[in-house]
Chains A and B, each alone.
Chain A
Amino acid sequence: MGVLTMGEELLCTAVSVVLHIFVQISHLVDFGKRCFTRAPPSLDPIDWPAMPRVAQEKVIDYLDIKTRYALRRCSKSDQALVERTLKTIEAEFVFLKIFDDKIDVDVMQKTFRGMFYFKTFTCPNEAAMVLRSILKRVLTKNLVIECHKIHNLRRFLDAWAPEGHNVKIRTMKLTWNCQMESARELRRVLALVQSDLVTEVLVNDGFLINLDWLMRSKFWNLLKAVYPHQDVFIDIQKHCSLKVVEIYFVGVDENGSCYKKEVLRTEDPSAFNEDDVDSIYLPRQTFTFLEITETLKRLEVGLQWDEEEKSSWLGQKNQV
């Protein structure tokens, strides 16, 4: 009996220990749940769908773009509501940085003081969808695109503006920070920009070939005729604030290395207001339209002119 009692006591002790451990574990689990699950909002909920439309619109006016986009995803009616308000807002900057494994989108709004990080996307399609929506509606003062690898840029552009997609970019300035040969890609983006809005295209360190959108002028047509496209890279920097266009002609030697062939720094009459031309301070290496003709005559040596093109240009020049 005594042995049995002792066994029972041991059993009881063991059971109580096990129970105690279970209780402790359950406490720990509860604590963990409390720590790792999202705390409920401290405020009582607002019945947003029951709110008067005037108040809803006023509330949205006080939301930054990021929160508006979050609200847009809540329901169809909110999507419509937010989209209507997006047209009235302006973004100082939209920064698009394309990396190997991610795409960063940053937006800066004047009313909300300071730039805020919008989102990092790992999927180009998702980033493209959001960016399409923002740039179509929000008037952006400066869209900055930065990328250092051509295949990343192409992959993103394929997602952003696929064939037949009606993409529009409402930006006043485009800054192209793609330090590589990306003329075709820039042209693709420029084709999306709403042309009546854009006042400045700043291209930094890009080798641009045949950028006819940027230089849609008689002068540019002439340059195209003078420089065979396959032999030369053309780097253009267009500063509307200075009313100056800098064109770097860069050739490739036998070893495949680049050398600067020619630099033209000029105003492009068709790109700026004609009234402003005379008042611009033109540094040493600046040519007027007439002087450029002289320069080009010099460059004519050794170049094969297409007679038709030449006579056409000369005809246009005489008209000018």
Chain B
Amino acid sequence: MSSTEQGTSSAAPAEPTTAPESAAAPEVPESFYYVHGKDKVVHKVSAGALQHSALIHGMISNLGYTEEQAKANPFPFENIDGDILQMVVDWCNQHKGKPTPPEDTNLPKQKEKLFDLVLAVNYLEIKELLTYCCKQVAMMVKGKSPEEIREIWMIPTDAEDEAAEKEAKKRAGKEAAGETAAAAGDAK
């Protein structure tokens, strides 16, 4: 996205360049923050865009970072893939300072990433984007039969679930037995 300044190096945050957002609102200079995902690529995001995320917004207000501090300490989101974080940042920038319409067409179309996106958005507490993602997930199964839903949403049957549980229990039992045997050996 053109509005997102993306760092290229993994170690240091990207050098902030003149952002188009700041040109749009010249009266108050906009503050920027930095986030990075699993791939350590740093994304520069304006404070206005980050307001969509209740988690990051809470972090910002609690930490009271200056721009320099923010640049030096990008928010790490190790559990979010880089490309997913990029999508989220793009979306936040696009919807900066305006309410999300009920039918949002600006969301990235890569539906194969939808599940990861839902997890990320839920973690970052971006309510509007989560609503839209959930709508997309719901659309995947609308009017489908239980078998089709199972296939699309990877839902195991109760029998499969029980079998997996039994297997897990067996494995846990074996591991526990191995541990007790090892402990007994150590004691001897």
Min CB gap B118→A, angstroms = 5
Does more than half of chain B's interface fall in helix, strand or loop, or is it mixed?
A: helix
Determine which residue in B139, B142, B148, B155 has the highest number of CB atoms from chain A within 10 A of its CB, and name it. B155
Check B150 for interface membership: any CB of A closer than 8 A: yes
Tell whether A62 pairs with B134 under 8 Å between CB atoms, given A52-B122, A54-B122. yes
Contact with B along A69-111 (1 / 0, CB 8 A): 0110111101000000000000000000000000000000000
B143 pairs with A66, CB closer than 8 A = yes
Cα A45 to Cα B134 with chains together (Å): 14
A70 pairs with B118, CB closer than 8 A = no
Specify which chain B residues have a CB less than 8 angstroms from the CB of A54 in the assembled complex.
122, 130
Check A256 for interface membership: any CB of B closer than 8 A: no
For chain B, give the interface size range.
Answer: 20 to 34
Cα A73 to Cα B151 with chains together (Å): 13
Specify which chain B residues have a CB less than 8 angstroms from the CB of A75 in the assembled complex.
155-158, 161
Tell whether A67 pairs with B141 under 8 Å between CB atoms, given A41-B152, A74-B146. yes
Partner of B141, one of A38, A40, A44, A63: A63
Partner of B142, one of A41, A67, A73: A67
Check B153 for interface membership: any CB of A closer than 8 A: yes
Identify the stretch in B60-68, B89-97, B107-115 within 8 Å (CB) of chain A at 4 or more residues. Answer: B107-115
Known: A43-B152, A60-B138, A74-B150. 19 other contacts (CB 8 A): A43-B112, A46-B137, A46-B152, A46-B154, A47-B115, A48-B154, A49-B155, A54-B122, A55-B130, A59-B138, A63-B138, A67-B143, A67-B149, A70-B144, A74-B149, A74-B153, A75-B156, A75-B157, A78-B155
Q: Which 10 A-B pairs have the closest CB atoms?
A: A48-B153, A62-B138, A58-B134, A44-B112, A73-B146, A59-B134, A45-B154, A74-B155, A46-B115, A70-B146
6 intermolecular pairs with C-beta atoms under 8 Å apart: A45-B152, A51-B119, A52-B122, A59-B134, A63-B141, A70-B141
**A residues in contact (CB < 8 Å) with B:** 38, 40-41, 43-49, 51-52, 54-55, 58-64, 66-67, 70-71, 73-76, 78
